[in-house]
Every structure is written in C-alpha cells, then in structure tokens.
Structure 1
Amino acid sequence: MTVTPRHLEERLPLTGTLTADRAARLSTSVAGLVIALQADVGDQVKQGQVLLELDGELNRLALAGASAAAEEAEARLADARRRFQEASTLVARRSIAASEVRGLEAEVAMSQAALASARAEQRRQHALLARHVLKAPFDGVISAKQSEIGEWVTPGTAVLELVSPQQVHADLAVPQEYYPRVSGESRVELRLGGDAGPAYPATIAAIVPVNDPNARTFLIRATLTSTAEGASLPPVTPGMSVRASLFLSAAEPRLAVPRDALVRYPDGRVSVWVAEDGADGALVAREQRLRVGDGLGDWVAVQEGLSDGDRVVVRGNESLRDGRELDVRD
C-alpha cells in the first residue's frame, strides 16, 4: 500500500477518581445540645429522614408564649372592631363625636398590625423549633459522623457527612497541552479494575478550564454510561481510582501505515519493508527503520522514517530479506 497522510485518533491514557454527584457535610441551622442521633456511619437513609435532634425545650416555651400573645392580640382586635361598629351607628344620630369614631378606627388598625406582628413571631418561633431537627436532604449513605449525644453544636459545623453512591462521575486530570483538542464530543472509556478490567463508555459532562499550576493539568468530568450490549455497570463507590482512555482526533493529518506492516524486534526496533524500484525495473524490498507514535485499531502514526508516497509491504513481510525481489499480487 501507498503511505498517505490520514486523520488518526490518538489515545491519551489518564488516571482519575470516582466522585459522588451529590455529597454534603450536614450541619444544623441553629445552635443547641444534641439529644438524639438516629444515624451512624454506613447507614442508608432516605430523603426527609430525621438524622439528629437538638434540645428544643426553650424554643417550645417561646412558641407557647408567642401563641398566647397572638391570641391576646386577636382578642384585642375583636374588641376594637366591636367598639368601632357601635360608635359608627351612633355617629349618624350625633350621639358621639366624629373624632372619637376616628380614634376607634385607628385603634382597629393598630390592633390589626399588632396581631400580624404576633402571628409573625409565632411563625418565627415555630420555624426555629423545626430547625432543631436535622433531616436528610437526599437519599444516600452516612459516610462520616462528627458529633455525639450531649455535644453542643453550632451552625456551620459539620455533624454528619452524606454521600449518594448511586450517582458518580470520574474526575480526570488532563495535561494542559491537550486543552484545545478536548470537547464535549470527545470519546472516553473508563476501566474500573485497572488496565486488565473491561472498558466502559463514558461521556464528558464538564470541562473545567482551570489550570492547576503545580501539575499543569485541567479537569474533565466524565459520566459513566451503560455498555453497548446493555450490560449493567459493576458496583462502584466514591473514592475508587479509575484508569481512562481519552480519544482525540489529530488536528492535522499524519502519515500512517497499517499495523500489519510493522515488524517489531525484541530490542525495541520497529521497521517496515519498503518496495523500491530496482535497477532492472523490478521491485525490491528495503528495510526501513521507523519511529512510530500512538495508534488505534489498524493504523499507526509514523513520526520518522517514511515519506508521502512510499510503498510498504503489508502482507507477506514476515520472511523478507533486504534486496529481495518482490512479486506483488492482489
């Protein structure tokens, strides 16, 4: 066959870590004393399940006081409305001064405002009391417990860690020089059991264009998909290491030869047999050493040793010797 430039797909080996799509360090909304802890490390929990309770006695008393204040304000408003209605019937017969009626009307308005304020305080105390209970924000597994019964906890301090292992992605560090060539359409395969494990297809969910100045890498996030045959994925957990292959199309066409044309030697040498025109017009075999690059499938990129238009032997090259005359057959 004749050597010509081709657009080859390059395989870039990567390593990464499986990370949960949903992971949270849970903390309480209010400060308080832990009186009940209903989850431990490794427990499977459902969204809305109670995980921790704080002592809410003082808030329950405050809520009772706010409720009583609201009832009092409601009674004051009812009394003010009654007196205003009675005065309104007397003003037509000039039995009461108009200014006194306006004063009663203002008293009704103030009583309405006082009732609204009392009800708002009642709702606030109810909300504070509800915040003494910590519930699971999503389904998952408790991965860490950082509090015990009897401890005083404050907002912002993690008491539990919750991870959803059902949804994971692979975070892969890619050398910075490949950034212009990576896109959401780039093909990715993940191996969960090392290089010897099966490869599973994945899709690029995100490309994070932030360079790590220490490693000179950027991050891509790949999401596992089902296999082409519809087989289910193996059990995975966040934190597992993965090996990945990122397939990139070459920006420029490169010289390539079929893999079958290569002759590899134990000392690492790689060569091909080139068909050259002999003195009498016949084709003769000449061994040509090569420097090859990555290759996928049936084609290997040639970095050095061949030129565009060279003819190489693809089949029947196992027993050739330098200078041997060739008989080309289809």
Structure 2
Amino acid sequence: MTSSPRLPAQILMGLLLTIGGLAAARWIAATTPPPPPAPPHVTPAVVVRWRPVARQTLTRQILAHGNLQPKRAATLGLSVGGELAWVWDGWRLGARVGAGQELLVLDSKGAEAELERLKAVLLGAGAQLALAEEAHGGAVILEALAREARDLALAEELRWDGLAEQGQDVPTAHDMARSRTVVARTAWSEAHLAIRSRELGIAAARAGLTQAEAGVASAEVALQKHTLRAPFAGVLGADAPALGSWIAPGQPLIEVVDDGSLRMLAFVSEAEAAEIAIGAKAQVQAGVLGLGDYPGRVVGRSPRADAGSRNVGLLIELDGISAGGMVSGFASVSLELPPFEEALILRRSELIWQQGTPLALVIEQAENGTLVAGARSLTLGRSSSGGLEVLAGLEPGDRLIVSPLAALSPGSLVLAGEEVEAQVSTGQGAH
C-alpha cells in the first residue's frame, strides 16, 4: 500500500500567506474612499487688438512696368528709283530735322519734261474751252435774232390773213408773207440746234480740260515721288547716301525718330485692365534714365490678353517729356483705378483661410457671457494691394480682431484689448 504524497511544509505555508494577502487587498480596496477628481483645464483668454468695421473710401493704384519708346518712328524710302541728284546739307547721323524738310531729290528730268508737256496740253484744253464758250455765245445771239425775225414774219402773215378775211387780200403779197414765215422758222430752228451743238462742244472741251488737269496733277505727283521729305520732326538715324548713287525703288534710306514725345507700353492683369478706362491718369517713373516722374494718360490697349500670362498691354502717352534721341528704356508707371467708395475693406493680414475659404474673426459674446472669437465666412469682391472689398459676411459695427490671429481659432476665449484705428491705406500693386 502506497502512501499519498505530501507537500512540504514551506510550500503550504507560502500558499496560505498569498491567499491571505489577496483577501486583505480586496478588503482595503472596498473600504478606501476614491480620491477627489482633478480640476478641469481652463484655457486662458487671449488679449486681442481689434477695430470696428466701418464703410470707407479707398483710393486705388497699381504699379506696372514696361518700356519707354518714342511716340513715332518711320523708315523712309521712295517708290521710284533713280540717280541721287541732291541731298540736304544738314543730313548727318543724329541731326534734328523739321517736319516736311526735303532730305534728298532724285534725278527727275524725265518727270519734269512730262509735266511740261502735260501743262501745254492743259493750256490747249483751256483755249479749246474758251473757243467753245465763245461759239456758244455767238449761237445764242444768232438764235435771238432768228427768233425775232420769225416773230416778225409770223406777225406779217397774220396781218395778211386778216385782210383776206376782210376781202382785201392781195394774193401775191400774202404768198410772199407765208414764204417769209417758213424761211424765218427754219432759220430759228437751225439757230436753236446750233446752240445745242455749241453746248455739246463746251461739254467736250470741259472734259478735255478735266483730263488735262488730271494729267498735270498725276505728273506733279510723279515728280514729287522723286523727293524724300521728313514726315514729322525728329532725329535722323543714319548718314546721307552719296551724291550720284543709284537709289532703287523701295530701298530703305533713313529712319526718323520723333524726339518730341514719349509713350510707354506697360502690362497689367486682365482684371485690372477691365477697370482702367481710356484716358485714365498715369504717373510714369523713369528715374533710372534720369528723366524723373512725368504725368501721362492711357491712350490705348491691346484687344485681347496674352494667352500665357493673361496680361493686357496698355499704351500710355507722357506729357511734357521729350525723348531727346532716346530709342527705348525701362520705366514704371502708377495707374489709377476706380476707388472703393463706401465699402467694407479688409487688409489681407486681417484674414484667415480655412480650406480655401476666407474667414474673419470678430469679438462675440457667448451664452455664458464670455467673449469669444467668432468666425465669419466672407464673400470678397474687387481687390487692391491696399485691401479687399467685402461683399458679405461682415456688418458695420462688428468688432474685427486684427491680432494676434495666429494664436486664435474660432471659439477661442478673448479679452478686448487695444482698439485700432479703422483705416486702410492706399495700396499699389506691382506687375
């Protein structure tokens, strides 16, 4: 018979102590009261600077850049060719020339001879017209005489008709009166037809005169084509060709640059160009060329925006400035835009953006009486570098938080601190 195994006394004692410890721990946990809860975390209120929202007027300008250039420049040549016979003695590179100044003349002996021939034809045509008018005057006189003779013959015939009715007719004399009436009527008809013929002669002579005058005018134009003149006052861009040299038709001979005024080609955005009217004032800064600042005005614009940049070119004429021989140069221009009148304006620094939506933070009072940063979603209108037009989202009198926006989020506790003056400065954009 086998005996049952026995645990060693030390192991048995350890088990008893463990069981007792667990029971004591349970009793202590059940009888010990829970610790008091920790106080909740309170976010301190942020002291903010703010300004009252109010309607105001904002003058607007943009700053654009471009190139100065003379108002006009022309490369001159002649439509006819020939040997160079005369050159203006003042012609040299950089010389100033007045409008209409003759610069050179080609050999024009043939054109001059043709002009003299056509002038002689014109004189002959004038003489022919004078003869035709004189003949017409004579025909008019003859017609008047023939008409008078016809009337007298008719009156005589009527007298004999009356005598015949009274029985006092003399046949021979009566017949002669009738014959004279027929002859007088025939003579008057021929004289009247002669007037018509002379009128046709005058018309033909006048047509010949008109043709001769046109021929002389054409010859004069052809002769003038041998002379090169400056179309406007300016500066000559090359030396004169040599006397006796052959000038081909259409050959470029000289460039004349108008040094009396300047214009500028500047570029602005498509949206800004839509607000700039023809005639708008401009202030051009050309200090880099030593020209200073000059007023100007917008005189033209490109018909469409550039496909890549979406910029529009503006043509600006400067007042009271001379090119002084300058061909081109860089300059800046300040352009006036229509002002924001009685509008709600925000600086860009007064906005925050959340997922592409512009927001403004205003001081609002919560239900518990505390002040918080309330978020207003904005609808923006026109822009300027000085500010943005607010169409919806804010009302006059709202207390707009201007700083520190980075330390705030919608719902943050705030304390109203310093009030900032409600003013937005004039802005200038740059292109």
TM-score, shorter chain, exceeding 0.5: yes
Q: Select between 187-196 and 21-30 the one with higher mean Cα deviation.
A: 187-196
Given the alignment, which residue of 345, 349, 352 partners 1:254?
A: 345
Give runs of aligned pairs for residues 248-287 of structure 1, distance below 5 A: 248=337, 249=339, 253-256=344-347
Q: Aligned partners of 1:89, 1:327: CA distance in 2, in Å?
A: 114
User: How big is the shift at 1:79?
Assistant: 6.0
In percent, how many aligned pairs have the same letter?
22
* 1:198–1:110 Cα change, 3 Å: closer
Q: Aligned partners of 2:385, 2:302: CA distance in 1, in Å?
A: 27
* 1:40–1:211 Cα change, 3 Å: farther
Q: Which amino acid aligns with 2:306?
A: D
> Which residue number in structure 1 is paired with residue 53 of structure 2?
4
Q: Aligned partners of 2:127, 2:291: CA distance in 1, in Å?
A: 76
Given the alignment, which residue of 151, 155, 168 partners 2:246?
A: 151
Given the alignment, which residue of 47, 68, 87 partners 1:37?
A: 87
Q: Is the 8 A contact 2:260 2:324 kept in 1?
A: no
Q: Aligned partners of 1:187, 1:85: CA distance in 2, in Å?
A: 68
* 1:70–1:211 Cα change, 3 Å: same
Given the alignment, which residue of 114, 118, 126 partners 1:66?
A: 118
User: How big is the shift at 1:57?
Assistant: 0.8
Q: Which amino acid aligns with 1:37?
A: V
* 1:113–1:205 Cα change, 3 Å: closer
Given the alignment, which residue of 334, 337, 340 partners 1:245?
A: 334
Per-residue CA deviations over 1:246-294 (Å, capped at 9, x if unaligned) read 454569743239x9x9xxxxxxxxxxxx9999xxx9x9xxxxxxxxx98
Q: Is the 8 A contact 1:275 1:326 kept in 2?
A: no
Q: Is the 8 A contact 1:8 1:301 kept in 2?
A: no
Q: Aligned partners of 2:299, 2:123: CA distance in 1, in Å?
A: 56
User: How big is the shift at 1:20?
Assistant: 2.5
3-state SS of 1:213 partner: coil
* 1:194–1:177 Cα change, 3 Å: farther
Q: Aligned partners of 2:287, 2:247: CA distance in 1, in Å?
A: 44
Q: Is the 8 A contact 1:3 1:256 kept in 2?
A: no
Aligned length: 282
Q: Is the 8 A contact 1:147 1:160 kept in 2?
A: no
Q: Is the 8 A contact 1:275 1:312 kept in 2?
A: no
Q: Higher strand proportion, which one?
A: 1
Q: Is the 8 A contact 2:259 2:323 kept in 1?
A: no
Q: Higher helix proportion, which one?
A: 2
User: How big is the shift at 1:170?
Assistant: 1.4
Q: Is the 8 A contact 2:259 2:322 kept in 1?
A: no
> Which residue number in structure 1 is paired with residue 71 of structure 2?
21
Task: Provide TM-score, normalisation by structure 2.
Answer: 0.50
> Which residue number in structure 2 is paired with residue 49 of structure 1?
101
Q: Select between 176-185 and 191-200 the one with higher mean Cα deviation.
A: 191-200
Q: Which amino acid aligns with 1:153?
A: A
Per-residue CA deviations over 1:120-144 (Å, capped at 9, x if unaligned) read 3233212321232122222222235
Q: Is the 8 A contact 2:285 2:294 kept in 1?
A: yes
Q: Aligned partners of 2:127, 2:289: CA distance in 1, in Å?
A: 78
Q: Aligned partners of 2:234, 2:295: CA distance in 1, in Å?
A: 25
1:162 partnered with 2:256: yes
Higher relative contact order at CA 8 Å, sep ≥6: structure 1 or structure 2? 2
> Which residue number in structure 1 is paired with residue 301 of structure 2?
207
Q: Is the 8 A contact 2:261 2:323 kept in 1?
A: no
3-state SS of 1:137 partner: coil
Q: Aligned partners of 2:334, 2:106: CA distance in 1, in Å?
A: 49
1:180 partnered with 2:274: yes
* 1:159–1:3 Cα change, 3 Å: farther
3-state SS of 1:211 partner: coil
Per-residue CA deviations over 1:43-99 (Å, capped at 9, x if unaligned) read 2111221012122111111112222333444455566677777787699699xx949
Per-residue CA deviations over 1:294-319 (Å, capped at 9, x if unaligned) read 855xxx779xxxx9624568xxxxxx
Given the alignment, which residue of 108, 118, 143 partners 2:212?
A: 118
Q: Is the 8 A contact 2:64 2:334 kept in 1?
A: yes
RMSD: 5.1
Task: Provide TM-score, normalisation by structure 1.
Answer: 0.62
Runs of 5+ in structure 1 lacking a partner?
227-231, 262-273, 284-292, 314-322
* 1:102–1:214 Cα change, 3 Å: same
